Amino acid sequence: MELRLYDTLTKEKRAFTPIDPSNVRMYVCGPTVYDFAHIGNARPVIVFDVLFRLLRHRYGADHVTYVRNITDVDDKINDRAARDFPGLPLNEAIRKVTEKTADQFQADVAALGCLPPTHQPRATEFVLPRADGRADMVTLIRQLIARGHAYEAGGEVLFDVQSMPDYGALSGRRLDEQKAGARVAVDAHKRNPADFVLWKLSSENEPGWDSPWGRGRPGWHIECSAMSAAYLGGERGDEVFDIHGGGLDLIFPHHENEIAQSRCAHGTHAMANYWMHNGFLQVEGEKMSKSLGNFVTINDLLRDWPGEVVRLNMLKTHYRSPIDWTLKGLEESRRVLDDWYKDVADIEPSDDIDPEFLDALLDDLNTHKAITRLHQISPTLRLSEGRLDDWSGDAARRHKKSAALLLGLLPQTAAERTERGRSLTGIDTARIDQSINDRAAARARKDFKESDRIRDELAAMGVVLKDGKDADGKPKTTWEIAR
């Protein structure tokens, strides 16, 4: 089956054809590092990690280039630096804020099972022309001015939206509509109220770089145009790449403006061939906000839940649909994972991915359907439905291989699993069955000291025994994972 992706720009799901199958190129907008990332920020990171893994599976691990930037220059960062480190010179304070936050972000998303992207450029390293000749913001802005798409006014360099006839195509916002509500007085220096900042002058107390337009700093949008070109610009001057991703909230103005800058600077028909956007996330039925007190950071969640649970819970919903993030959903996801771990503990994954599971992912990343398929082939479910005969090691091995594509590498050793949380402790089912038999034998010979010892030993592993009777009324002991 071919890979099909939904493209926000053309509003259709169509077959994915890479420009160069030996180097499939994807860019996803990364975090602005001034505060802990929240669970809404985690969604694109997880969704595009699944796509990255799928592309690697399809085209080969060495044939996919994934770039996710780090925005480490932003007025929000300046404010945070001044607040948190009032005694320090601003630049030093900014470095403290961005380094700490970027490190935290990396640790958070690694715990969510996300592979590191191929490149994670930091904006501040791409402001000025570089020794290695990779694209940079100042050169890009000069190109835009030279081609008549940008101008200097009022201490800023602005993009001239009217210089681009199809500006607004991604968001479907037409220029004449945007003009209506604009605050004309504030924007008096602009040719059109929709013109946006490429460069602005910095005061002495603000971070700045010396440029042809004076000491200043870049606008947000130009960062992504420069960093995507720096790592995804093809051979022979082909600047168009394959996939650009991000959250729905970035379509306007951020992605609209990235397209305008990149296309006009390079003179190309497109910036990327497929524009992919994940849907919104709300918490317990409400929009997440600090004032409502339902603001959930990835870091908070990881204190209570293993990363795989958070990840599975995110992927239960198709990436383009809105998600309602709930405690109930997390609990359900943990139960599912507990079952899966029980199924595949200490089993070597097979080389094959389940074909139906793969087809679901190839259909515009239908993770919901893929997870349903994992349920269908889950040995636990088959056993509970009395299909004991259907059990085969192959099913479990394919299940493990498939689940790994979705969830990141499942922990392999018992020690790793124990580290990831008690409820996901690796379970050696054969050993438990043996212990249960030993305990039954001890009870039969009335050696209650030994039977209690075995029960306590299992409890220490997080396994709780339940004594009951089977259909024929004979004593039967079952077990479950302690919660």
DSSP letter assigned to residue 388: G
State how far the alpha carbon of 278 is from the alpha carbons of 29, 43, 63, 317, 478, in Å.
12, 7, 24, 11, 42
Q: Which long-range contacts (CB under 8 A, 24 or more apart) does 329-338 make?
A: 330/305, 333/309, 334/305, 334/306, 334/309, 334/423, 334/424, 336/312, 336/375, 337/306, 337/308, 337/309, 337/312, 337/424, 338/423, 338/424, 338/481
Binding mask of the shown chain, residues 380 to 419, with x at each position contacting Zn ion by CB under 5 A:
----------------------------------------
Please state the closest distance from residue 273 (CB atom) to Zn ion, in A. Answer: 17
CB of 27 or CB of 341, closer to Zn ion: 27
SS3 156: strand
Please state the closest distance from residue 250 (CB atom) to Zn ion, in A. Answer: 7
Please tell me whether residue 70 binds Zn ion under the rule CB under 5 A.
no
According to DSSP, the β-strands at 241-247 and 24-28 are parallel
CB of 29 or CB of 138, closer to Zn ion: 29
Please tell me whether residue 345 binds Zn ion under the rule CB under 5 A.
no
CB of 29 or CB of 46, closer to Zn ion: 29
The answer to whether 337 touches 316, Cβ cutoff 8 Å, is no
C-beta neighbour count of 423 within 10 angstroms? 17
**# residues contacting Zn ion (CB under 5 A):** 2
CB of 29 or CB of 102, closer to Zn ion: 29
Please state the closest distance from residue 429 (CB atom) to Zn ion, in A. Answer: 47
Provide the terminal-to-terminal Cα distance of the chain, rounded to the nearest Å. 41
- The secondary structure element, H or E, covering residue 184 is none
Q: What burial letters (b/e) apply to 295-324, b meaning 16+ CB within 10 Å?
A: ebbbeebbeebbbbbbbbbbbebbbbeebe
Please state the closest distance from residue 101 (CB atom) to Zn ion, in A. Answer: 17
CB of 144 or CB of 427, closer to Zn ion: 144
CB of 29 or CB of 230, closer to Zn ion: 29
CB of 249 or CB of 419, closer to Zn ion: 249
Please state the closest distance from residue 224 (CB atom) to Zn ion, in A. Answer: 3
Residues 120 to 149 in contact with Zn ion, rule: CB under 5 A: none
CB of 3 or CB of 224, closer to Zn ion: 224
Binding mask of the shown chain, residues 209 to 248, with x at each position contacting Zn ion by CB under 5 A:
---------------x------------------------
User: Radius of gyration of the chain from Cα atoms?
Assistant: 27
SS3 231: helix
Please tell me whether residue 298 binds Zn ion under the rule CB under 5 A.
no
- What beta strand segments (E) does 313-408 contain? 323-325
SS3 24: strand
Please state the closest distance from residue 227 (CB atom) to Zn ion, in A. Answer: 8
Strand order in the sheet with 150-153: 150-153, 156-159, 196-201, 216-218
Of 23-31, 154-162, 211-219, 415-423: span binding Zn ion (CB under 5 A):
23-31
Please tell me whether residue 29 binds Zn ion under the rule CB under 5 A.
yes
Please state the closest distance from residue 154 (CB atom) to Zn ion, in A. Answer: 25
Residues 428 to 447 in contact with Zn ion, rule: CB under 5 A: none
CB of 144 or CB of 224, closer to Zn ion: 224
User: Using CA atoms, how far apart are residues 225 and 272, in angstroms rounded to an integer?
Assistant: 11
Please state the closest distance from residue 257 (CB atom) to Zn ion, in A. Answer: 9
Please tell me whether residue 28 binds Zn ion under the rule CB under 5 A.
no
Please state the closest distance from residue 183 (CB atom) to Zn ion, in A. Answer: 25
SS3 199: strand
Please state the closest distance from residue 258 (CB atom) to Zn ion, in A. Answer: 6
CB of 137 or CB of 361, closer to Zn ion: 137
Please give the residue ranges that form the binding site for Zn ion (CB under 5 A).
29, 224
